[in-house]
Structure 1
Amino acid sequence: MPFHPAAPSDLSGLVDAYGAVVRAIIDLGRSMRPDDFDRPTDCPGWTVKNVISHVVALEAWLGGEPLPAVEVPAYEHIRNDVGRFTELGVEHRRGWTGEEVVDELEQVLALRQSQLYAVELTADSVIDGPFGPAPADTVLALRMVDIWTHEQDVREAIGRPGDLDTAAASVTMERLELGMPKVVARSAGVAPGNTVIIDVTGPVVGRIGVRVEEHEGRPRGVPLFTGEASTHPAAEGSESVTQLAMSTSAFGRLAAGRRSPDEVHVTVHGDDEVAHRVLAAMSVTM
């Protein structure tokens, strides 16, 4: 079932949504007290200022700025090469004030918008993305997942929930949905013959369905998109249907690895063991 409100599908709408979610972080930063920037977030080792520094650094790099030439200490929260890469921009700005980081984000947003609103750019134009060159619409969607998730990190840290019904939130829900078949069939190890339905109850509302089938001797998650779990034709033949209901915030926090299952409210109907395994394996992005 498509999410509501629907995510933008055209390039102009995606660029608008990207600008809005970056602007939301800027606006939060402008309204913070100095000590708010030092608050810890759900990102291990990162304060609010560090999270915003990460957003600034990655957008500046995608905009054409060179990576900063800094030495990154062996912080405990850095576990791999990706972690070391993302820490470069954070370390470079570690001595800055929060206000200075927000000022830079505003400048970087103006640069990125000038690039992304360019008349010659189309949805299929290949541009630099976080994982290498990719079509512009894919890059924008991936960046919105990361930026919206970090906006929520900031909001949780300073106690100002919001922006759970924006275009960027809808884009994030749609992208996270794409990872659920693998989560259910592979990461959670749900056996063939089971169907898992995830109801995202709002403010962005949608239904995610996955039926597990055996394919060449291995479990495969087949996405389902419409209908009630108990009557959907695609669920016929399933030995068991397990239904999970949770808010937009809860789904986003679980899928981003920011919360454990016992830290969010989830309503379960069906097989408790299947539900526990899916919830424990739900993290698909950081």
Structure 2
Amino acid sequence: MSLHPTLQPYADAWTHSIEAISELLQPLAEAEWNRRTPCPGWSVRDVVSHVIGLDCEMLGDPRPIHTLPRDLFHVTNDHQRYMEMQVDVRRHHTAPEMTSELEYVVIRRNRQLRNESRDPGTKVRGPLGAELTLEESMRRHAFAVWVHEQDLRTALGRPGSLDSPGAHVARDVLLGELPRVVAEEAQAPRSSAVVFDVHGPVEFLRTIRVDIQGRGTLETAPALGPAATLTLDWETYVRLACGRVTPETVADRVKTEGDQDLTTAILRNFTVTQ
């Protein structure tokens, strides 16, 4: 394979998740494709449509020409409208049509990855015409497909893959958002620290330090006398960060210490996906 070593972890994560999704879908009856997932407004079919659409975008396929209905109340911004297009265009597809299209797209993506020789810094097109590096595009893609694998597992009652390659990509993506959540969104006091203690299949202890200018940085060193500490399990961390649950519904799974106003503000702004 000619894939750059920097990109290999993201290709491995995508491969693991997409194979898991394919396996989850094989035994499903037609009615099970309509099950609700934790992803707001989306069924199992919708999530799979989205995953297919994401991979079509990675392949550079033209986007579908389609007009969205006006009654999709979960669609409230341009980013959601952009993502919904690939979903709504497949809403009436049968289970065999969905699995066949997914299988074909996966074959094409595997071929693309085998032949991928571009530098990680190569600029590529992202959602809504945004320009980003190939490395960031593949990183975001591996993250998204793993999160949607988890959506499907929750909907189908088939938990798993919480420590898979995609889970570790997700950890790094979500940790990268924490300084902004704590310092900018939750407005943590300047010259303070907030500790996140996460246990479970993926474990980590991280500190967000807020400097005198109000900028947040992510550190692995524990803080002495932090302003606040949040302790929770990995699955709850993911669900909160991806907007699959509200802080109120998982209050019994999140332990907070220190400044309660600050921990409330952090949890209120914890969702980082659109």
Normalization by structure 2: what TM-score? Answer: 0.90
Aligned twin of 1:46: 42
User: Retained in 2: the 8 A contact 1:12–1:117?
Assistant: no
CA displacement, residues 63-117 of structure 1 (integer Å, 9 cap, x when unaligned) = 1221111211011111122222111111111110133212211211121121122
Residues 1:29 and 2:25 aligned together: yes
The amino acid that maps onto 1:222 is: T
User: Retained in 1: the 8 A contact 2:121–2:133?
Assistant: yes
- Partners in 1 of 2:25 and 2:124 — Cα distance? 29
Aligned twin of 2:259: 271
Aligned twin of 1:259: 245
Aligned twin of 1:81: 78
**Share of identical aligned residues, percent?**
33
CA drift of 1:127 comes to: 3.5
CA drift of 1:122 comes to: 3.5
- Partners in 1 of 2:40 and 2:256 — Cα distance? 29
Equivalent position to 1:149, from 141, 147, 150: 147
Equivalent position to 1:207, from 205, 208, 214: 205
The amino acid that maps onto 2:190 is: P
Equivalent position to 2:99, from 80, 94, 102: 102
Normalization by structure 1: what TM-score? Answer: 0.87
Give the SS at the match of 2:196.
Answer: strand
Aligned twin of 2:235: 249
- Partners in 2 of 1:122 and 1:186 — Cα distance? 33
- Partners in 2 of 1:104 and 1:229 — Cα distance? 50
Aligned twin of 2:15: 19
The amino acid that maps onto 1:205 is: E
For these two proteins, the number of residue pairs brought into alignment is 266
User: Retained in 1: the 8 A contact 2:11–2:142?
Assistant: no
CA drift of 1:119 comes to: 5.2
Equivalent position to 2:216, from 221, 237, 246: 221
Question: Which range moved further: 14-23 or 124-133?
Answer: 124-133
Flag structure 2 segments of 5+ consecutive residues without an equivalent. Answer: none
Question: Which range moved further: 260-269 or 125-134?
Answer: 125-134
CA drift of 1:171 comes to: 0.4
CA displacement, residues 131-169 of structure 1 (integer Å, 9 cap, x when unaligned) = 634332211110122111111111111221111001111
Aligned twin of 1:120: 117
Question: Which range moved further: 43-52 or 10-19?
Answer: 10-19
- Partners in 1 of 2:195 and 2:53 — Cα distance? 37
Aligned twin of 1:6: none
Aligned twin of 1:174: 172
Give the SS at the match of 2:102.
Answer: helix
Calculate the aligned-residue CA RMSD, in Å.
1.8
Runs of 4+ in 1 over 6 A off after TM superposition: none
